[in-house]
Amino acid sequence: MPAANSPTVRQRRLRVELRKARDQASLTQEQVADNLEWSLSKVIRIESGSVGVSTTDLKALLSLYGVPTERIAELVEIARLARERAWWSGYRKIISQQYYDRIGYESAAATIRQYENLIVPGLLQTQEYAHEYISRLISADRAANVEMLVELRMRRQEIIEGDDPPQLFFIFDESVVRRLIGGPRVMRNQLRRLIELANQPHITIEVVPFTVGVNPGLSSSFTILEFPSPEDDDVLYLENPSSTLVTRDRPDTVVSYREDFEELRSMSMRPEGTAVLLNQLAEQLSSD
């Protein structure tokens, strides 16, 4: 399954297992630090996943927690695989840690549900659309990175056409498909790309019309990533123009947004009505 290829998911699984093992051993982080003669900050960083953990330190932790030998071997192997270099590692210097992790989770997801109220999602953008959007909004000090950022966005889309693609469910606010990013020609090609993708059996695209008025998606765009293994909880990304919030360990919050997603689907034009709208808009731009 896809999760086997993502160091990001392995790192998260290891972090969860370490915290679970400490809880089962009835130890606080302070007690762990005292027992191993480590600083408290080291324990906290390891559990949060903000730093890697060496094999020696991992074995010391798991032994302290009373984890069986065979399970220690399994977790040491997960840690080793989590240190492997992923294809997106080559872009690490030009993107945020949140974006870096998102690509790792995205590459491993079995199901992706995304609501977008501003622009076409990156996984569905044409190269021209992506270039126009990124080049117009990037800060001056990062302008030299535009081409690499567009390249990265295009590489992310490889999961759509792979041998074992995730199930993808997209909902847009109507403004997304009416906003002329790049002018008529670029937007026409983008709309045609959406029409093409919506015909794929693993991709669903729906538009929430202006006429529904107030809806759960007005406050922010969001993405829910679901994984094939029951050991890996869903990941939620909340996005607005100025920030991104990642929710990895709050199942109740994820459930709430999943409910919002289903409510937005009930308000949408459904795939059939969305296809009609996309074709109408593309035709209008062809005649302009």
Q: What is the pLDDT of residue 233?
A: 86
In this prediction, residue 8 carries a pLDDT of 87
- Right CATH for 2-82 from 1.10.150.530, 1.20.810.10, 1.10.260.40, 3.40.50.11540: 1.10.260.40
Q: What angle do CA 98, 100, 102 make, to 5 degrees?
A: 70
Domain coordinates in residue numbering, the chain: 2-82, 87-287
Would you state the pLDDT for residue 201? Answer: 95
Quote the CA–CA distance of 271 and 195 in Å, as a whole number: 10
10-residue mean pLDDT series, the chain (288 residues): 67 90 95 95 88 91 95 92 90 91 93 96 98 92 93 96 91 97 96 97 97 93 92 85 63 91 97 97 87
CB 205 within 8 A of CB 172: yes
User: Torsion over CA of 214, 172, 131 and 225, rounded to 10 degrees?
Assistant: 110
How many angstroms separate the CA atoms of 24 and 17, rounded? 10
Instruction: Give the phi and the psi of residue 49 in degrees, each rounded to 5.
Output: 80, 10
Provide the pairing of β-strand 111-116 with 243-247: unpaired
Record: fold of 87-287: Endonuclease; Chain A (3.30.870)
In 227-262, which positions are buried (b, 16+ CB within 10 angstroms) versus exposed (e)? Answer: bbeeebbbbbbbbeeeeeeebbeeeeebeebbebbe
Q: Give the span between the Cα atoms of 206 and 172, in whole angstroms.
A: 6
**DSSP assignment of 220-247, as one string?**
-EEEEEE-SSTTS--EEEEEETTEEEEE
**Predicted model pTM:** 0.87
Closest by Cα among 173, 170, 153 to 99: 153
Sheet containing strand 111-116, strands side by side: 203-208, 167-173, 111-116, 221-226, 235-240, 243-247
For residue 111, count CB atoms less than 10 angstroms from its CB and return exposed for 0-12, middle for 13-18, buried for 19 or more. Answer: middle
In terms of residues, how long is the chain? Answer: 288
Which pLDDT does position 133 carry in this prediction? Answer: 96
